[in-house]
Amino acid sequence: MSEAAAPDPFIPSPYRVGKVRRETRDITTLEVAPIDGQRPDYQPGQFNMLYVFGIGEVAISVSGDPAASGHYVHTVRDVGAVSGAIAKLPAGATLGLRGPYGTAWPVELAEGGDVLFVAGGLGLAPLRPAIYHVLGRRENYGRVALLYGTRSPPDILFRQEVERWRRRLDVEVLVTVDRADTDWRGDVGVVPRLIGRAGFDPHNAVAMVCGPEVMMRYTADALRAAGMAPDRIWLSMERNMKCAIGLCGHCQFGPDFICKDGPVMRYDRIATILTIREI
């Protein structure tokens, strides 16, 4: 009797695009559901490889609610050929998908203490599944704060949802932008500056940080200055991922591969590597 051949990890499964929502001028959110079979479960922070036939494949974090079944939600920024093609896919289009891959946000480890989400720009998308998870089990956590920084008021991602979270009495939401005109009533400045204003116990909190790497470095510095230990800070790293299963080495980050050992990584493990320019 011959053994069944293992499925080829490089062959994507066909998925169909459902709802499409334009979030900002260059960011789009798509729901994608498997054409055959069940959507595999995923953990907050994981990503899929999305393949646009004839154009290419790209790693995109899942941005939906892990508790919602049937489809994945991906939020894509049009920055290149593949992401631009994904952002332009209409409802009903077909694409290939491999995944989910990678490490998850420490939502269970954070139980019993305060939780600080710090997002910059599109970085709110990979954090959103963790936010859903925490808010869905709100009684398991202490104080919860979301600090969000972006370029300008029209660039605020998931704006209606952020406003809804802000109205809740059990979540502190602080939003800042880099620049604004005088109609803006919120804060102007960089997101690390919000850390001093958020209510949390640095000795009993977990920070989950996602955004451009420069922003994450400054945020980690600000969290350390606020008294948070480096093993309580988690970052979602980004590198050019190709195989997504730790084989090709495109996303090597020091001794790790971001696709396999990340994208979510503990700060104390990567702090020194973050300062090496060649990596």
Residues near another protein, by CB under 8 A: 26, 79, 120-122, 149-151, 155, 176, 178-190, 192-193, 196-197, 211-212, 214-215, 218
Of residues 135 and 180, the one with the C-beta less far from another protein: 180
* Helical residues (DSSP H) of 56-176, grouped into ranges: 81-87, 124-136, 159-167
3-class DSSP state of 14: strand
Of residues 111 and 178, the one with the C-beta less far from another protein: 178
Letter string b/e over residues 110-138, b meaning 16 or more CB atoms within 10 A of that residue's CB: beebbbbbbbbbbbbbbbbbbbbbbbeee
> What's the DSSP call for residue 109?
T
Token reading at 153: 């008021």
- Least distance between another protein and beta carbon 99 (Å): 25
Write the CA distances from 171 to 141, 230, 261, integer angstroms. 11, 24, 30
By C-alpha distance, which of 76, 77, 133, 141 is closest to 105? Answer: 133
- Least distance between another protein and beta carbon 211 (Å): 7
Pair 169, 199: CB distance under 8 Å: no
- Least distance between another protein and beta carbon 7 (Å): 37
Pair 110, 228: CB distance under 8 Å: no
Cβ within 8 Å of residue 10, ≥6 positions away: 98, 243
Of residues 68 and 79, the one with the C-beta less far from another protein: 79
Of residues 34 and 153, the one with the C-beta less far from another protein: 153
Pair 209, 106: CB distance under 8 Å: no
Of residues 188 and 229, the one with the C-beta less far from another protein: 188
- Least distance between another protein and beta carbon 215 (Å): 5
Of residues 139 and 181, the one with the C-beta less far from another protein: 181
- Least distance between another protein and beta carbon 274 (Å): 15
- Least distance between another protein and beta carbon 189 (Å): 5
H or E element, residue 101: strand 94-101
Phi, psi of 68 (to 5 degrees): -80, 125
- Least distance between another protein and beta carbon 184 (Å): 6
Of residues 202 and 246, the one with the C-beta less far from another protein: 202
Of residues 39 and 151, the one with the C-beta less far from another protein: 151
- Least distance between another protein and beta carbon 149 (Å): 8
Q: What is the rounded CA–CA span in Å between residue 176 and residue 187?
A: 5
